[in-house]
């Protein structure tokens, strides 16, 4: 059974960098079959895809200038770094596995981590 677990500071000061890790168990992040994804949900709002990593990285254009997603294969983890944060970056951050059916191109996110709340405040 694949499980993902986010970790990192729950409070970040404005203008600093938000750094989160996602530890994966039950699957190898080296697997070419999957991508590894970050999604966030601002308080009381919907879901926003941040970006993912597999062979390379893809980012949401709205965040691309501030985001880096990377892999740490030694720890079977992937990470999110979001720089120059503001209060608008306060959200629950989820990591998830991206699954793609290569015969059709269909893709989806499953499973998801439980999420971690990051508050941006001085």
Partner 1 sequence: DIQMTQSPSSLSASLGARVTITCRASQTISKFLNWYQQKPGRAPKLLIYAASSLQSGVPSRFSGNESGTDFTLTITSLQPEDFATYYCQQTYAAPSTFGPGTTVDIK
Residues that bind partner 1 (CB under 8 A): 46-49, 58, 60-62, 94, 101, 104-115
Closer of 1 and 122 to partner 1 (Cβ): 1
Q: What is the smallest separation between the CB atom of 122 and partner 1, expressed in angstroms?
A: 27
Following DSSP, what letter does each residue of 33-90 receive, concatenated? TEEEEEEEE-TTS-EEEEEEESSSEEE-TTTTTTEEEEEETTTTEEEEEE-S--GGG-
Closer of 28 and 62 to partner 1 (Cβ): 62
Distance CA 87, CA 120 (A): 5
Q: What is the smallest separation between the CB atom of 65 and partner 1, expressed in angstroms?
A: 14
Closer of 8 and 111 to partner 1 (Cβ): 111
Q: Which residue has the tokens 């996110």?
A: 109
């Amino acid at each position: 059974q694949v499980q993902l677990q986010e970790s990192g500071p729950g409070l970040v000061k404005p203008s600093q960098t938000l750094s989160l890790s996602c530890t994966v168990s039950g699957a190898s992040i080296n697997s070419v079959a999957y991508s590894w994804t970050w999604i966030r949900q601002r308080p009381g709002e919907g879901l926003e895809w941040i970006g993912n990593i597999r062979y390379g990285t893809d980012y949401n254009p709205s965040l691309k200038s501030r985001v880096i997603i990377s892999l740490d294969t030694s720890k079977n983890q992937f990470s999110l770094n979001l720089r120059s944060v503001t209060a608008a970056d306060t959200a629950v951050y989820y990591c998830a596995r991206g699954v793609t059916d290569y015969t059709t191109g269909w893709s989806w996110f499953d499973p998801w981590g439980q999420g971690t709340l990051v508050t941006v405040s001085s």
